């Protein structure tokens, strides 16, 4: 297996399953209703729906960067945390499209490209970016799991 294939595999595992740590993003989103997705059980926190839109935004940024667009140093609001718009099934479908498109784009890379610099920041390579997306998916999967448990406790 090449390093690109290993990273694509880790992206897939963080998104749709067989992750070493536990449930993937898709697994923790299974069964979430539109009502639960929109709920904010505590003040000042993001909803599951907002988290899904946020993860989608960053998967799209990574995909577009792999495809040759300039990497943004950061996303300005509301692009970083888009509102919970459209329907819940549409938000999940958009997440699915972006995650799978990113994996496909990564599979088109060479191992040598992993060492190329993504931004002017020292050491920020495609290798770092793509592992960051894996970590980002899993971080937010944990948040979704905690929100689901919090809602169970409060019902």
Query: In the prediction, which pLDDT does 130 show?
Result: 98
Query: In the prediction, which pLDDT does 155 show?
Result: 67
- 117 DSSP β-pair partners: 125
- Residue partners of 96: CB distance under 8 A and separation at least 6: 26
Query: In the prediction, which pLDDT does 142 show?
Result: 96
Query: In the prediction, which pLDDT does 108 show?
Result: 98
With CA atoms as reference, report the closest residue to 56 among 22, 107, 90.
90
d(CA 145, CA 40): 14
Sign of CA dihedral 88, 90, 92, 94: negative
Cα dihedral 78/96/19/72 (nearest 10): -40
- Chain segment 90-141, per-residue pLDDT in tens: 999 999 999 999 999 999 999 999 999 998 777 899 999 999 999 999 999 9
Query: In the prediction, which pLDDT does 143 show?
Result: 96
List domains and CATH numbers for the chain. Answer: 3-154 (1.20.120.450)
- What does the block give as tokens for 99? 């995650």
- What does the block give as tokens for 87? 């329907």
d(CA 80, CA 77): 5
20 vs 38, residue with greater confidence: 38
Percent of the chain predicted with pLDDT > 70: 99
121 vs 142, residue with greater confidence: 142
Mean pLDDT rounded to a whole number for the chain: 93
């Amino acid at each position: 297996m090449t390093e690109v294939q290993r990273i694509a595999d880790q992206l897939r595992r963080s998104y749709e399953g067989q992750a070493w740590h536990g449930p993937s993003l898709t697994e923790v989103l299974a069964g979430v209703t539109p009502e639960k997705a929109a709920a904010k059980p505590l003040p000042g926190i993001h909803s599951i729906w907002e988290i899904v839109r946020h993860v989608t935004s960053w998967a799209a940024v990574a995909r577009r960067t792999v495809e040759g667009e300039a990497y943004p140093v950061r996303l300005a609001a509301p692009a970083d945390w888009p509102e919970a718009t459209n329907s819940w099934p549409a938000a999940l479908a958009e997440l699915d499209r972006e995650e799978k498109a990113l994996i496909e784009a990564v599979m088109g890379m060479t191992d040598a490209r992993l060492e190329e610099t993504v931004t002017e920041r020292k050491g920020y390579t495609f290798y770092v970016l793509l592992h960051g997306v894996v970590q980002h998916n899993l971080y937010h999967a944990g948040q979704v799991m905690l929100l689901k448990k919090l809602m169970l406790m409060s019902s």
